[in-house]
Amino acid sequence: MKLWPERLELPIRWKKPRKIFVNSMSDWCHEDIPDAFVLSMFTTMLEAQWHTYQLLTKRAPRMLRLAEMMTDLIEEKTGSRAWPAHIWLGVSVESEAQRGRITLLRQAPARIRFVSYEPAIGSIAGVDLTGIHWLIAGAESGRCARPMDEDWVREARDLCQSSGTAFFYKQKLDERGHKVPLPELDGRIWNEYPTGGK
């Protein structure tokens, strides 16, 4: 794992608001990333508050521990322990087997909590989305992509509708294995975003 401390302050120099998927090619909660480095990232997010930051992890237990440290940092800088709306927390859930990550995510103090159901490799029909504001669903892509049953996506959409969770169907693969962005499901494109964030 390589850290790039020289990039930590880039968002401060970007004056036009952006949605920033933090560590899009890795995991910000990876055990090889020191706590101090994560807190430096978070300090930048607090300063460059005109952006929206999406932090996704598979390591929900460490996320909760770091979130507590981040909350302490917020209080130190603002006098309040309330999380700002522009910093979102999410977990990856590939099937119902990872439902425990959602349980831990519900305990996170973020005002926007999201689930990345991507790659969808099994049903999540029995998952509880209470307290989750956004779910992104999509097929795995690449040469060895595992198949996705669109009924799994339909089940996830129905869960979102019953829990008031915004639903975003990001991609599927066509019959030749080519990626189809924003595919239709039951006659419409599902590209909802959570309310309450920027």
Chain segment 12-26, per-residue pLDDT in tens? 999 999 999 998 778
pLDDT for 89: 98
Distances (CA, A) of 142 to 110, 173, 176: 32, 10, 12
Q: Is 114 part of a structural domain of the chain? A: yes
Taking the CA of residue 9 as centre, how many other CA atoms within 13 Å lie in the half-sphere pointing to its CB? 2
Residue 198 predicted with pLDDT over 60: no
Residue 159 and residue 132 in contact, taking contact as beta carbons nearer than 8 Å:
no
- 86 lies in which domain range? 16-189
Contact between residue 105 and residue 91 where contact means Cβ atoms under 8 Å apart: yes
* Cα(181)–Cα(172) distance, integer angstroms: 7
Q: What is the pLDDT of residue 27?
A: 92
Q: Residue 57: pLDDT band by 50, 70, 90 thresholds?
A: very high
Position 45 in a domain = yes
Whether residue 77 is contained in a domain is answered as yes
- pTM confidence score: 0.93
pLDDT of residue 100 exceeding 70? yes
Residue-wise pLDDT tens digits, 130-155: 999 999 999 998 888 899 999 999 99
What's the domain count of the chain? 1
pLDDT at 1 over 70: no
Is residue 9 domain-resident? Answer: no
Position 116 scores a pLDDT of: 97
In a domain, 164, yes or no: yes
Question: In this structure, is residue 10 part of a structural domain?
Answer: no
What is the average per-residue pLDDT within 115-127? 96
pLDDT of residue 74: 94
pLDDT over 90, % of the chain: 84
Helix (H) or strand (E) holding 167: strand 166-173
* Residue 102 lies inside a defined structural domain of this protein: yes
pLDDT grade for 6, boundaries at 50, 70 and 90: confident
